Structure formats: structure tokens, C-alpha cells
Amino acid sequence: MRAFLKSLDFLLFAVTLVGLILGGVLYALGRGELAAYVFAAGTAVVLVALIVIIIRSLLRGSVGLDIVAAISMAGSLALGEWVAGNVVALMFAGGQVLEAYAKARARKDMTALISRAPRRARRYHGREIEDISVDLIRPGDLLLIRPGDVLPVDGQLSSDEALFDESVMTGEAAPVPHKKGDELLSGITNLGGAVDLVAVTDVRESAFAAIIRMVEEAEAQKAPMARLADRHALSFLVFTIVLAALAFLQSGDAVRALAVFVVATPCPLILAVPVAIVAGLSRAAKQGVLVKHGGALETLASVKTILFDKTGTLTRGEPILSEVLVAPGFDRASVLSKAGALCQGSTHVVSSALVRAAAEQGSLSAPQMIVESAGEGLSGQVEGASVAVGTFPFVARMSSPDGWHPVARDLVAAETGLVAAIAIDGKISGLARFIDAVRPEAAEILAKLKKMKIARCILLTGDRREVAEAIAKGLPFDQVIAEATPAGKVEAVIHEKKRAVTAMVGDGVNDAPALAA
């Protein structure tokens, strides 16, 4: 905002507004000649800036309605119609300020997106590790990815195993384990220990850079109303000139011709479009809605299809314990308490969910001898008992194959959601089921949209199909599109746009290109 206040647009608006007010005061005090100079100065500064804008547009082969405003201001100065010129200048400068404000808001959102991208990387150079700019990364480079690091480029995992938060790219809420040789996208976060990555792209060709480019390209679009006005600018300009010439020929009065230009100056388009866009952006921001560009507001009333992201949009975006199944001979409260106590030693989102659920039963014991295996689970001691929590294969390796072992294995195989196995003293004692809970207001909102004549509501997510269909069950969706990459989401939006006016609802980096499209 500070940079916006220092901008040329704001300066021109301030000078013109002060000129109009000061000129009016001087005129009221009987200093008409001095008032004329003040009015003229306020008009002239905007006219000079406008001429520069027009020249640049003409060099690009574009003719805009700004030419009519420039003729009005120049004619007012030439014929001594100081107040009329200043008013036109104020309207033009006001429109520029409001448009600059809207762009400043968009740049702020873009800055937040870009700030996630790392600036430095650690590359192996022989037996040493060098700290380099990400711009120096080349395909084939071996990189060290530390815990918490965001991948700077697309690459192939060189370490045996790793665990990543891929929510910004795929919308998958749960951490995703990977094995050696897996292809990884830039922008995801390393949740496990330090791993090695072989770069397969440079930073400019990475998936995350492609997302940023797609958003930038979409935000460069003009609002539909402005595009429509510019499309007919040349014919409107010719019509105005002809009409002004006829007025002059009929009356012989140059002021009559000037009046035509002043009346024809597209003040409603110069001022009304930015005003409406800024008002809409501000109202949406108060409701927590991010609008990527002003054109979206103009077309919102005509929307017939809406695509919804899942994670963080329809759901809360974090796993919640929904059920604990226990083996015969084990107590649910005891199993949950021991699992929750052990998970206090991990920052994994599943561990956090278990800790929250277990803590609701009472205080938790302090775990000991915790060992965490990235992407698999953790083990340790709780109240003298050996406890393991994690994926079924991980827990099964630490357990004896007793009677409930195959039952638990079959339950896990049939489960579409997230499941953690629990073992106590070498026996599989329970299975913890998690859900990414649907927001309670989701069904009501979708029903209201249907009543508002929205023809199609589509669930568009990067999650697995079985997870997406489980979430969509009970909600009035017309279609479910699952396992979509950021680029795939853009394709889905473009496809729907060919059929009807389309809106995209989502949050997070992985939705940014689809939102912008």
C-alpha cells in the first residue's frame, strides 16, 4: 500500500483534486485569473501523462477511449474552459488510481505466492556441499533437501525413502511417502529427514514456476467491460469527431464542438469500471474471498458452472480421528491413550490428530525411546509398554502375526481413507481411521447455489478418486474429477468454460492457476 501511495497515478490524482478545490476557492474569493491558472495546471499534468499513455498504446497498435479524454482536456485548455478540463482530468486520474489500487492488491497476492519459492539450494560438488542460488541449478545436479525445505525444482528422489507435504501442489492433505526413484514436483515440502534429489529441470521450467507464470498471465487480462470498450474505441472516436465537426459547422462555435467531446468522454467507463471492481474486491475480501482479477466480478452474475477444490475448501484440510477399531482383548481408551502418548514425539499431522483425540480422554504419559521412520511411522515406550503407530506394513514388521493380524490387513486394504495401525507389546491392537472432515456448511451452500440456477457443480481435486467420491457422497455434485494436477485443473476449467460461464473455488497454491484461468 505504501508503494501504491507513492505511485504516479496517485500523485496525478492528488494534484488534480487539489487543483480543482484550490481553483474553486480562489474563484469564490474573486481571484478568477489565478483560479484559471490553477485549473489549467491541474489539467495539464494529467494531459501530459495521458499523451504518453496514448503514444505507448499506439506504438503497440492499440487505440483506446483515452484519446477522447485527451482531446477534451486539450480543447478545454485551448478554449479557456478551465473547469471542464479539470473535471475531465480528475475523472481520468481517479479511474487510474482505482485501477492501480486493484493491481496493487493483485500484486500482493502474487508476492505471497512467489515468496514460497526458495531462493537458495544446497548442491553436491564432489565431496562438498555448496550453497547456491536456485537459478544455477541444472538438470542432473544432486541436491541436498533438508527437513522443512521446499523443493526448488522438479526432481527424482535419490534417497531410499522420504515423506513430503504435497498439499500445495495436489491438494492431498495427508503427507505422502516416496521411495527411491519417485518423480517429485517443485513446491512440495520435505517433512522427514534430509534426502538427496536429482534435478530433472532448472528453476524456470519447474512445475511451481509454471504455476506462477499461469497466474501472472491470467492476471494481465483486462476486465471484459474494458476490453469491450477498447474494441469499439476507433469507431467511437471517428463518430465523435464527425459529430463535433457537424456541431462546429452548424454553429460556427468551437465551444459547441468541445462540448461534444466532453459529453462523449467515456467517464462512466473511465471511472465506473474501476470503482465497481474495487468495491467488489473490498467486499469480497471482508468475506474472506480472494478474487484474482476484476474481470471475474463482471462475469460472476452469469456463472452457470462452478468447480470446487476439496482440501481446505469443502473440507477443513486436516485429518480428524473418526474411529478406533481394537482387537479382541484390548480396550479402546487404553489403545488410544498409548498411541496418543507416543505421537507426542512427532510433528506429523496424523500424530497431531491422535494426540488431540487422546488428550480429550485425559492427560497423556511422556513417551520414551522414540524412533521415527520417515513416511512409515514411529515406535517407542509408553508406561513400560512397546508401542508402534504408523502404516500397516511398518507396524506389522514390529508385531507377531496373531489371529487379528489378517483381519486388520483386510480392513486396511478395503479402506479408502487414511488409516494408522497401532501395535502394543508386539501385537496389532487397533486401527485408527481418519477423515478430512467436510465443512458443516458445505451441503447448505451447494444447495443454495442450485437454487440460484447454477447448472453444474463439479468437485475438482488432486486427491485419489476413492477419497474424492467418499467426500462427494451426500453432496449435490454433478461430476467428480479426481487425481488432477495443477495443469489438469486448468484444463478442466478451460473445458467447462467452452460449455458455459465457469467459476473456480479453491485455496492454496495448487489451485492458483485454475483460479486464474
**Residues acting as catalytic residues:** 309
104 grid coordinates: 496493487
CA-based nearest residue to 280, from 294, 261, 301, 266: 294
Ordered strands of the 502-505 beta sheet: 479-481, 456-460, 305-308, 502-505
pLDDT in single tens digits along all 517 residues of the chain: 445 445 677 788 888 888 888 888 888 888 888 888 888 888 888 888 888 888 887 787 766 677 878 888 888 888 888 888 888 888 888 877 877 776 666 566 556 666 778 889 999 988 889 999 999 999 999 999 998 899 999 999 999 888 888 877 766 666 788 889 999 988 889 988 889 999 999 988 888 887 777 666 655 555 555 555 555 666 777 777 888 888 888 888 888 877 777 777 765 555 566 666 666 666 665 565 656 566 667 778 789 999 988 777 788 767 888 888 898 989 999 999 999 999 998 888 788 889 999 998 888 888 888 888 877 889 999 999 999 999 888 988 888 877 787 888 888 777 766 789 999 998 999 999 887 778 888 888 899 998 988 889 999 887 778 778 878 887 889 999 988 877 788 888 889 988 998 888 876 555 555 555 6
How many CB atoms within 10 Å of residue 381? 17
How far is the C-alpha of 87 from the C-alpha of 95, rounded, in Å?
12
Tell me which residue has cell 522427514.
192
CA-based nearest residue to 500, from 445, 452, 450, 454: 454
Class of domain 120-212: mainly beta
> Amino acid letter at 150?
V
Predicted TM-score of the model (pTM): 0.47
* Domain range list for the chain: 2-113+232-282, 120-212, 290-314+438-516, 318-437
Identify whether the C-beta of residue 209 lies closer than 8 Å to the C-beta of residue 406.
no
398 grid coordinates: 514390529
* Residue 517: predicted pLDDT: 60
Q: How is domain 290-314+438-516 classified at the CATH fold level?
A: Rossmann fold (3.40.50)
How many CB atoms within 10 Å of residue 358? 24
Q: How is domain 318-437 classified at the CATH fold level?
A: Calcium-transporting ATPase, cytoplasmic domain N (3.40.1110)
How far is the C-alpha of 333 from the C-alpha of 354, rounded, in Å?
12
* Residue 144: predicted pLDDT: 94
SS3 199: strand
